Amino acid sequence: MVKLGVRLIDKLMHRSLLRRWRKLADLAGGLDLESLRRYRGQALSLRRNLDRVIHSAEHQLALPVIGSNAIRKPMGTDWAWRPTLWKGPIPVPGFSSVLNKTMICDGATVFHDCRSSELTLRQIRNTRESDLAPFGVRMDVFRFDGSFLSLVLELPEDAVEGLLLTHLIRLDAIVEMEKSLEIFARLNIKHGPNVEQIVRELPLNEEEVKVEFDLAYTKMNEKRVERIWVDLIFEGPEMNQIILRDVTFSRRPRADL
């Protein structure tokens, strides 16, 4: 109720201001010089602030909306998801000298075996018209004396619900880097005491960076699936900047042959 009253007052003030300046614009040709100088000063002051509001609004409205779940989905998709790291602001946006097993946010953890970490990670705001994800993730890797670096993404519980051997799980990504490297995606499915794994290399030289995991090639027990996670493994990351503009997952039944 209070908000409604505030909006009504704001609307009335806006109408009153518009009427005043419309009237002054109509009368400007017949005003004396002193009045013209005074009103010009007021108009310029008003215009400066109006320009600031317009500039800020256009910038913000041009960005992908925070929390947006707009995802490019293949035909037949029955589940799709964008991790929190790319969907909304995280509590701590930047990390330096990232240690092994550092949790970046809920469901995203960095693993490596460096003796001395020279890795930084920061969540950044996407600003391009082509971006669907509100945020991206930038990793700067300097000296790297370890044998592996991975970003582990835990898929939510609804990714497990109704999961069948006839399903394909797809990963889509938008990747930028200073120099070429290899990125592998390893799908892990825990069912009972066992873990099924499928590894695919991301085709970074192709226009669409996507990989699919065909569960028909696993021995997954459909009735005992407990959790799913994906390891993004970066090979030879030393002295490189890697930006993941977006990462999404989707699931669909395989077409009958």
Domains of the chain, by residue range, sit at 2-62, 79-253
Least confident interval from 6-15, 101-110, 149-158:
6-15
pTM value surpassing 0.85: no
- Beta-strand runs (E) in the chain: 79-81, 94-95, 102-105, 108-112, 119-125, 135-141, 149-154, 167-177, 182-191, 194-201, 209-214, 225-235, 240-253
Helix, strand and coil percent figures for the chain, each rounded to 5: 30, 35, 35
Percent of the chain with pLDDT over 90: 60
Task: For domain 79-253, give the fold.
Answer: Jelly Rolls (2.60.120)
Model pLDDT for residues 65-83, shown as the tens digit of each residue: 766 678 888 889 999 999 9
